[in-house]
Structure 1
Amino acid sequence: MAVSSKELAKKDIKSLLIKQSIPSSIGILFMSVNILIDTIFVGRWIGSLAIAALSVVMPITFFISSMGMAIGIGGSSVLSRALGAGNKEKAYRTFAHQIMMTFIIASAFVVAGLFFGDEILYAFGAAGDIMVPAKAFFFPILLSVPFQAFCMMGNNVIRAEDKSKHAMNSMIVSAVANIVLDILFIKVLDMGIMGAAIATASSFVLCFAYIAWFFLFKSELKPKLSHFTFDKKLSWEIISMSFVTFARQGVISLLTVILNHTLYAQGGEHAVTVYGIISRMLMFALFPVLGITQGFLPIAGYNYGAKNYDRVRESIGMSIKYAGALAIIIFVIILTLAKPIVAVFTTDPEVIKDTPGALRWVFAASPIIAVQLVGAAYFQAAGKPIKALMLTLSKQGFFLIPLVLILPRFFGIFGVWVAFPIADVLSTIVTGIFLKKEMLTDLKKS
């Protein structure tokens, strides 16, 4: 086993968390800035309707490519525990399985998208005038989804090796390429929404090139051809852990469908555009909190596999503490600067008028979300798929979707926005109960 992965059992937890979380946060920041600038360019150079088209298309392609993320996170839970237990052979076989599964599943989804593209777009909310720009953006992006899936899978494996700087670099490559190509294809060549799609697709290909280079020349995982044979037991172990992430992305996609249709019914294309800006801010603003959660995963998984339960408890407490502090800072920024933030995206006066209030409501409970994010991540790192699945789905699946379906009937479009903080509070309470019980029982073994 390489020295870098052994450090997960030896180095100070605070130092490890900083080492893992800062590159993860920077990587997520660049990815989020990429999405953010993409939206700004599209909104200012093409029009606010194009933002609505992005709000429809991106969740579809992200759902497909999230198979790679699911296999990356779920398989890396298996991989981290194998490294922690000193089982190099299982680590190699796990990585080989991740490669095979990502290729097969992503390719199958792309074929489905090519045959049923119009139906999928309509299901995700491409109604009225949104359909035409949505189709122009969808199909170029769809062809690049396998590359994006491999990037998402590989990124998580790299972090499991404790080489998070390379994971960060892969996201930076993608983000910088997309911004430069956006300027070229949208502004210089005046290719409109098609140019935005080509720029984004090209950035996925370049990210894949970096990931491939890492595994060929820098990785400690060197599977042989003999490892590329499906093992039923190992496949099921990876799938059971991957299903947690995939189910979450599936529920997020279902939520997007419900939100887009509900918002369109309440306020037409305008309401979908408002949420398009808010959804981008949700991806962007919480990047340091998500970075700590991702940095926490390999530390908890490795030490749980090595039965170092004291270190697992310490990593949970420290992750919640730092992520919670950052979430409070983010909340204050959103609360005070909502209108200037929205004005960056668009010059449409109606959108600028209606979005700040909605944005504040959506972020209202963000100071407490660290408990929910870290708690759900712990159960995945520890290889407990049922609890991880239930807690991961708690916000969007058990609370937010029902609230979005019910509250607008009584409160109109305001019911959509207030559903977010209510779901955050409820899911945090449930996760806190599960996590406290776990720390008093299973993590008291040492």
Structure 2
Amino acid sequence: MNEKILGEEKIATLFLKYSIPAISGMLFLGLNTIVDGFFVGHYIGVNALASVNIAMPFFSLMIAVGVVIGIGTQSIIGKKLGESNIEEASDTFKTSLSFMSGASLLFLVIAIGFTKQIAAFLGANEQLMPMVITYISYESLFLPFLGVMFVLDYVLKLMGKPVYSMLALVIAVISHMMFNYLFIVQLGLGIKGAALAAGLGYSIAFVMTILPFIMGRTTLKLFKGNFKKSLACNVIYNGSSEGLSEIGTGVTTFLFNITLMHYVGEVGVAAFTAISYLSFIGNNILIGLSDGVGTIISYNYGSGKIERVKKALKLAGFSAIIIGVGLFSVISIFAREIIAIFLDANHEQAFNFAVYGARLYTFAFLVNGLNVVSSGYFTAICKPKSSGLIALSKGIVWIGIGIVMLPQIFGIKGIWLTVPVAEMLTLILSGSLMYKHFKYQIQPN
């Protein structure tokens, strides 16, 4: 079986084999966001860019559910395969697919039935309301494909197919770019075209990820196993910390939008949208690193090979530092050129505000990679409480406190410093949890 290499091949080789495709796939998703922002910002307008950002927390919530179930599934199945328990791994797979399908359909019904209420709750004013409603209405039609794709993609990596998993994302992203050009530039569909392009990209990713399971090229089969409520609870519990990270992204976007609308108005939201694209790209790279190494860690932890687990974690931590310093340097030096991809420099107020904000916001990348790796590690070994504390700290607690207090102390500058301060404070928590774990709790359950 392909997955047995996870317990036998050299850690350095596995690290490259799994982390590079995972990082590449997530980087492509980040580049996809750049292209999406480019088409919306340049061909529809600044208000459209702000509207997409206001709608994002709703989709972040859906993605959070997908990540909860996907990561929870991966950590449990990885551990069970490491223990050679194929039957329970199959039951977990069946349970997760069934649960994710139901959750996705529920989100679709809510989005269709309460679109205007959702847009109003997320902060859309009278000017932006029509575009926010349109974007939510059309993109929501594709939510079931998005949700199930998450589960399939995480399990594909455990099936020894990290490169195929990457290719599925790459093809989906390229298709999304082409649909953006067709719908927005050629057909002039505006915000509706942007939503349809994103939805079709999800659908293509779904088709690509389900094919190996339909064709029977995986250890786990699509229609084998049994649905078990107890396993559904375990999946949610083990993936809950990563879901908190996604919810934190939505909370951050929501709080920043509300705060910037209060202090600056639509210009501030447009500027933050451009910066959130940069944040998404950087975080995607780090999440890809964590996901890639998480597959190795979960399997070897289940097999009781703790030294292999430690080696994989050290490589991930070192890589996170290198990536973080690189992102900080590039954004600090080329902030104007990068922001120009999203915002027209002729919109001088929004453009300069975004450049100023990007140079402050990018300090977060110096430390947040270590927080991402720490959280991912605890999830991979089925210790979601520690992972959840990290996610809660960096994405909700310190963001909520910072966005209220720092602008009062530093003015507008305090808004942009909220995320770096939250990451730095969370690093103290991550370090203490890691120290406690390796000193007292290293043996697998």
TM class by shorter chain equals over 0.9
> How far apart, CA to CA, are the structure 2 residues paired with 1:378 and 1:286?
16
> How far apart, CA to CA, are the structure 2 residues paired with 1:251 and 1:333?
25
How do 1:324-339 and structure 2 match up within 5 A? 324-339=321-336
| Residue in structure 2 matched with residue 319 of structure 1 by the alignment | 316
Report the CA distance between 1:23 and its aligned residue. 0.7
What is the CA deviation profile of residues 120-160 of structure 1, one whole-angstrom value per residue up to 9, with x for unaligned ones?
Answer: 11222212422121112111101111111111221111122
Paired residues of 1:162 and 1:298 also in contact (CA < 8 A)? no
SS at match of 1:307: coil
| Residue in structure 2 matched with residue 43 of structure 1 by the alignment | 41
> How far apart, CA to CA, are the structure 2 residues paired with 1:159 and 1:66?
19
Report the CA distance between 1:63 and its aligned residue. 1.5
Paired residues of 1:78 and 1:238 also in contact (CA < 8 A)? yes
Report the CA distance between 1:286 and its aligned residue. 4.0
Residue 262 (structure 2) pairs with residue 301 (structure 1)? no
> How far apart, CA to CA, are the structure 2 residues paired with 1:261 and 1:310?
47
| Residue in structure 1 matched with residue 419 of structure 2 by the alignment | 420
Residue among 263, 271, 275 paired with 1:266: 263
Residue among 277, 280, 289 paired with 1:280: 277
Report the CA distance between 1:445 and its aligned residue. 7.9
Paired residues of 1:46 and 1:193 also in contact (CA < 8 A)? yes
Residue 338 (structure 2) pairs with residue 345 (structure 1)? no
> How far apart, CA to CA, are the structure 2 residues paired with 1:170 and 1:240?
28
Residue among 115, 118, 138 paired with 2:116: 118
Paired residues of 1:313 and 1:439 also in contact (CA < 8 A)? no
Residue among 50, 72, 80 paired with 2:70: 72
How do 1:92-107 and structure 2 match up within 5 A? 92-107=90-105
> How far apart, CA to CA, are the structure 2 residues paired with 1:30 and 1:445?
35
Report the CA distance between 1:176 and its aligned residue. 0.6
Report the residue type matching 2:280 in the other structure: M
What is the CA deviation profile of residues 170-210 of structure 1, one whole-angstrom value per residue up to 9, with x for unaligned ones?
Answer: 21121111100111111111111111111111111111111
Residue among 247, 250, 253 paired with 1:253: 250
Paired residues of 1:277 and 1:345 also in contact (CA < 8 A)? yes
> How far apart, CA to CA, are the structure 2 residues paired with 1:52 and 1:34?
18
Normalised by the size of structure 2, how large is the TM-score? 0.96
Q: Which runs of 5+ in 1 are unaligned?
A: none
Report the CA distance between 1:444 and its aligned residue. 6.4
What is the CA deviation profile of residues 68-114 of structure 1, one whole-angstrom value per residue up to 9, with x for unaligned ones?
Answer: 22111111100000000000011111110111010111111211111
How do 1:36-435 and structure 2 match up within 5 A? 36-217=34-215, 218-225=217-224, 227-229=225-227, 231-347=228-344, 348-435=347-434
> How far apart, CA to CA, are the structure 2 residues paired with 1:345 and 1:60?
22
> How far apart, CA to CA, are the structure 2 residues paired with 1:62 and 1:232?
25
SS at match of 1:200: helix
Report the residue type matching 2:307 in the other structure: D
> How far apart, CA to CA, are the structure 1 residues paired with 2:398 and 2:56?
23
Report the CA distance between 1:435 and its aligned residue. 0.7
Equivalent residue pairs, number: 442
SS at match of 2:219: coil
Report the CA distance between 1:61 and its aligned residue. 1.7
| Residue in structure 2 matched with residue 443 of structure 1 by the alignment | 442
> How far apart, CA to CA, are the structure 1 residues paired with 2:443 and 2:202?
44
> How far apart, CA to CA, are the structure 2 residues paired with 1:163 and 1:112?
35
> How far apart, CA to CA, are the structure 1 residues paired with 2:419 and 2:83?
40
Q: Which runs of 5+ in 2 are unaligned?
A: none
Paired residues of 1:100 and 1:228 also in contact (CA < 8 A)? no
Sequence identity percentage = 26
